[in-house]
């Protein structure tokens, strides 16, 4: 186990245990710390210092804070590696990061893990209908029926005037409301 990565992971968890409001100086500083952690984890990966399943998982958790497609894909790659090496908590993260990567490109998710505000409440982002609940279960993802139920009971969206929604969410809302 990589002790430096463990410390980075704990710092990441500590940052996200604090509820900082979007757009505040504290939020911007938190995002800067996240970026520095991702950069350091990338260095550790490059140096071959990530080798055990838990390290792959911790690295994936740190990368999941990124908004760029490369960060999201790195999350997926690391989580899949951890899962293949037997770290069970990585299975859901591997599925969720693939869904997020697809969603951020405006494509349907594979597993249905991403729930988004739709203007009236929340909904499961569009899902590829060919993926079965059996396949979801292999990655520790609940059934699609359960995911839809979770979306219906998600807490109301907090409106943040300083933030604009990404293009893929705006396009989807228009599509959902016109059908």
**Does the pLDDT at position 107 exceed 60?**
yes
Residues 112 and 144: beta-carbon distance below 8 Å: yes
Range of 56's domain? 3-178
Instruction: Give residue-wise pLDDT tens across range 12-55.
Output: 999 988 877 888 899 899 999 999 999 999 999 999 999 999 99
Q: What is the mean pLDDT of the chain?
A: 91
**Does the pLDDT at position 175 exceed 90?**
no
**Does the pLDDT at position 161 exceed 50?**
no
Distance between CA atoms of residues 179 and 46, nearest Å:
47
SS3 category, 112: coil
Q: Tell me the percentage of the chain whose pLDDT exceeds 70.
A: 94
Structural domain total, the chain: 1
Q: What is the DSSP string of 37-102?
A: HHHHHHHHHHTT---SHHHHHHHHHHHTT--SHHHHHHHHHHHHHHHHTT-THHHHHHHHHHHHHH
Question: What's the whole-model pTM score?
Answer: 0.87
Distance between CA atoms of residues 73 and 124, nearest Å:
21
């Amino acid at each position: 186990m990589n002790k430096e990565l463990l410390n980075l992971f704990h710092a990441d968890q500590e940052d996200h245990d604090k509820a900082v409001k979007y757009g505040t100086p504290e939020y911007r500083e938190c995002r800067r710390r996240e970026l520095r952690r991702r950069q350091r984890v990338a260095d550790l990966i490059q140096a071959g210092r990530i080798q055990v399943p838990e390290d792959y998982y911790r690295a994936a958790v740190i990368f999941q804070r990124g908004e760029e497609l490369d960060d999201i894909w790195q999350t997926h790659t690391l989580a899949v590696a951890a899962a293949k090496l037997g770290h069970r908590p990585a299975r859901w993260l591997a599925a969720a990061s693939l869904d997020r990567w697809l969603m951020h490109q405006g494509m349907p998710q594979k597993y249905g893990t991403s729930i988004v505000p739709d203007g009236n409440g929340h909904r499961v982002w569009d899902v590829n209908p060919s993926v079965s609940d059996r396949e979801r279960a292999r990655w520790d993802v609940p059934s699609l029926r359960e995911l839809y139920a979770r979306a219906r009971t998600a807490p109301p969206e907090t409106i943040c005037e300083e933030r604009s929604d990404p293009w893929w969410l705006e396009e989807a809302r228009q599509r959902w409301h016109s059908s």
